[in-house]
Each structure stands twice: as structure tokens, then as C-alpha cells.
A and B are shown apart, each in its own frame.
Chain A
Amino acid sequence: MSSSAPEPVFEQPWHAQVFAMTVALNEADRFGWAEWASRFADTLKRRGLNRDLDGGDDYFHAWLETLEALLADQGEAAPRDVQSLRDAWEEAYLTTPHGRPVQLRQQ
């Protein structure tokens, strides 16, 4: 724990993205914030059993895991679809020349 030295709001771009997605889905009434907080607390508790979470990167790993599980339970994003799009994005990064915008191939 340290004091109030300035720090970025989001350390990584994906932290900001997963945060914003969750807020947007909550606002669109896809789930209530109390439900989100309760699921998130469960994930933090489970992940914190083996080691102390530092509140930075590991916090957003827990956040992402919670969102993935919630969307899977709701049937909005099945794990296999997430996996195949994740692979498609990886391929897009690996096959796009450096400096060009990375886009998914047409599917």
C-alpha cells in the first residue's frame, strides 16, 4: 500500500476496454450492478485464496473472468465463440504488417 502518488486511471488499454464494456452493458440493463458486484466479489475471493491480489493487473484479470462467466451464463457469448474470435484476432495481429490497422478478416 502506498500513498497518493499520481497513477494512471487505467494501467493497460484492455483494463479500460473491459471496464467500459461492463459499464455499457450495465447501462443497457443487461445486468444490475449489485449482481455484478456480487459475482465480482466471488471471483476476487476465489482468486485471492492462494495469493494476495495487488489491485492492479490481477484485479482486471478477475474482472474479465467475471464478465466472461456472466456473458456465458446469459448465453450472450459462449466460451467457444470467445475462443474462436480470440484466435481470429491473434491471427490478424500476426499477419498484419506493422503499422497497418489490425482488422479481422471477413468471416
Chain B
Amino acid sequence: MPHDDHDHPHALLPPEPALRVKALETILTRKGLIDPAALDEIIDTYQNKIGPQNGARVVARAWSDPGFKAALLQDATTAVADLGYYGRQGEHMVVVENTPEQHNMVVCTLCSCYPWPLLGIPPGWYKSDAYRARAVREPRKVLAEFGVTLPAETAVRVWDSTAEIRYLVLPMRPERTDGLSEDALAALVSRDSMIGTGLPKVPS
């Protein structure tokens, strides 16, 4: 497609870090350490295929099938692998269940460890210093900023993900959802509800 722009007689210069990334990529490709086509495939996977919709399927199944829920809480990695969700950064996943007594919330205080096969790549706020520092120190305040207010009698437990263990929150099934299909239930499960900074949607 012709694309003439007289303000730019030459190709638009990318930002400094992009040039450094291209330099690294060139070196590693020439050494045969990486394959540019494989990089495209990885990007496509995380941009288009893997995301919170996977975790939502897992939650909807757990809400619908007590046997699956028990297996999930016992050994999440195996239970979700049976649904086809496994791979990078999902080697050891642990699911923590919200109850009226305890609300769970996940953070990675050191960097940004996250259950990729179930939630994809973490959102910016999960990676921010503010969230990483404050989730542990003042979880109720952070929850309030996300619009989540819990009853005073509900305790908040914060789980710190690491490169070895990645947590997913199993939210409580909303009321008035009896008889809903797994598809309909999955549509209620937001990404934030599986990190613990949100609650599932309530059916309208």
C-alpha cells in the first residue's frame, strides 16, 4: 500500500530501546540461538490465544462440578492440565478458594510471577511498584481502590507468587446463578476476580 509521508523522507526511527532489542535479536539470530518465526509465534500466542478466558473456564467448571473443584484445590497443575491448560509459567499452580470467612488476593512482591496458562500476561498495575508494595501492607485499602469492599468479618489473605508457585483465586459463585451453563458462568468471571482484586459479575 503506498504510504507517502513527506515529513518522513526516511523510515520512522523506532525508540532507543527498540533499537537495542533489534540489536540483541540480530546477534542471537545470527548465532542460531533464536528463530524470528518462533518469536512471532510466542507473541501471537500471548496476544491472541492465552488469556483470562482460560482461567474463567476453570472457575466455571469448579463451580459446576464438585469433583473437579476438589481435584483443583488438591492439585491445580494436574487438574487444569486435564482441561488443556499447561505450559510456560504454569509448572506449579495453586488455587486458593474464597469463602465467606476468607478472601484471597495474589501479588508477586519480587517481580511479576503470574499463572500464564490461565491468565496470560499480567496487566500493568499487577507489575507496578504501587501494587507490589501495597497489596501486602494494606490489602483492604487496595481492594477498596478496585471497588471491592468486603464484610468486616471476612479476613483477607495475600499470597505471594514466585517463579516456583503461582496462585489463582477461585472466587465465590455469585447468587442467583443456579442452572446457568458453564459458558454463561465463565462469562461472569473477570480477570481481576481470579487475582482477588475483583469479584465475579452478578448476572443481570
Contact = CB atoms under 8 A, between A and B. Distances in A.
Interface of A: 1-4, 7, 9-14, 16-21, 23-28, 30, 33-34, 36-38, 40-41, 44, 48, 52-56, 59-61, 64, 67-68, 71, 76-77, 81-83, 85-86, 88-90, 92-100, 102, 104
Q: For the complex of A and B, list the 9 residue pairs with the smallest distance between their C-beta atoms, beginning with the closest.
A: A55-B128, A55-B127, A85-B23, A14-B18, A37-B163, A41-B110, A20-B39, A20-B42, A55-B124
Contacts of A94: 10-11, 13
A9 B125 CA distance: 12
B2 interface: yes
Which secondary structure characterizes the binding site on chain A?
helix
A9 B42 contact: no
A85 B26 contact: yes
B47 interface: yes
B120 interface: yes
A90 B26 CA distance: 13
B23 A1 contact: no
B31 A1 contact: no
A1 B33 contact: no
B158 to A, nearest CB: 15
A59 B124 contact: yes
A104 B126 CA distance: 37
A97 B28 CA distance: 27
A32 to B, nearest CB: 8
Interface string B4-40: 1100111111110111111111111001011100111
A3 B28 contact: no
Given A55-B127, A55-B128, A21 B23 contact: no
Given A4-B190, A77-B27, A93 B129 contact: no
B128 A1 contact: yes
B34 A25 contact: yes
